[in-house]
Each structure stands twice: as structure tokens, then as C-alpha cells.
Chains A and B, each alone.
Chain A
């Protein structure tokens, strides 16, 4: 069965530093997609970045990047030069297998990031 685990409940960092959030996953599928979403204090959830399992290069979008370690079933999110507005809950998610039009996302429990001035 598919499972996504985020063991860090909360992290606090100083502004302008780099933070890494951990995520490990379990899947029997040979092809899968991994995602990170951000949920702000208002409750809004936005997509940040995605990693396709067949790609060896780590995805990068703006000041977000991923550390994809396939043998360890691990997909860490790295935020460089953190800003106060990065404070939020970050969710890791994995696409479950199935027909292209009927797939599901499995979410981790989230990591609360607090960026301090």
C-alpha cells in the first residue's frame, strides 16, 4: 500500500537561511510522481514543485528544490534564502497508480515551518 511519511512536525529557522524538510514514501509502482504543497495560515493550498520518478535530475523552481534519493524512497524539499512569508505547513504527496484519468494523491501529515526574523 502507498504511504507518505513526514516525521518532522515542526521546524523553526532564521530568515535567509536554508531549510530542508524530509519526506519518505512507499509504493509498489515503478513510475510515480512526488509533490510538495504549501498551506498558508489562511488555509490556502498551493502547488510548489514536482518530481517525476523516472527523472534523475532534481527539480528546481525558484528558491525551492528537491533532493530526490530514489534508493532511499526519499524526497526532501529544500528552501534556500528563506523569507518570513515561507512560514506555512508543507505537505509531501505522491501520485498513486491507476488509469490516467482516475488517480489519487496520498498526502503526508505535513511539516510546520516557522521562519523567524
Chain B
């Protein structure tokens, strides 16, 4: 089991471009979470998804950010018209279904987004 896979590991974009970050959960996991870590800070929750559904997006900025977890394929975090303040490490985590109580979240290596 390769664990949670995120790609790319590093992504450089110019202001105004779009950034797409991908996350494949661990095998058998149907819950995906995205977190953002700004320099010198802890991880901040952004969004929680299950297949084809957004369950909680209370941590997502209201504009330019979107997330999806389609029936087939990885979860995508999309940032449109990037600005310098979007530079951060973006981590994805996954867990097994909620039918099993207290399942821990397993994290990927993260994507380091740099905006020029």
C-alpha cells in the first residue's frame, strides 16, 4: 500500500495562472481532506470530501478555490488566478469510512506551491 499519493511535489505558477493539486487516497479509503500550511504555521483544514460529495468546506476561501473527488480518479484541489499569498504547502489526508469509528487520517507528502 503506497499510502496517500500527492502530485506534483512542487508546483511553480505565475500570478494569475491556475494551480491543480492531485491526491490519491490510500487503497480502501473513501474520505479525503485537504489542509494548507503557511510558512511557520500549523496545518489549517480546508475541505473534507467523500466520493462525488463535498461534506465540509468551512475552511475553503470563498473565491478562487474549489475541490472535487470524482467517482473515478484522484481528488483535485484547484486554485484559479493564483496570488502570492497562495504560496504554501498543501497536504492531503485520507481515512476509511465513517462506519468504522475513530479512523485516523493518513497524510501525503504534500505539494509545495510557489507563486512567482
Q: Is B one of A's binding partners?
A: no
Measured CB to CB, the residues of A under 8 A from B are none
Measured CB to CB, the residues of B under 8 A from A are none
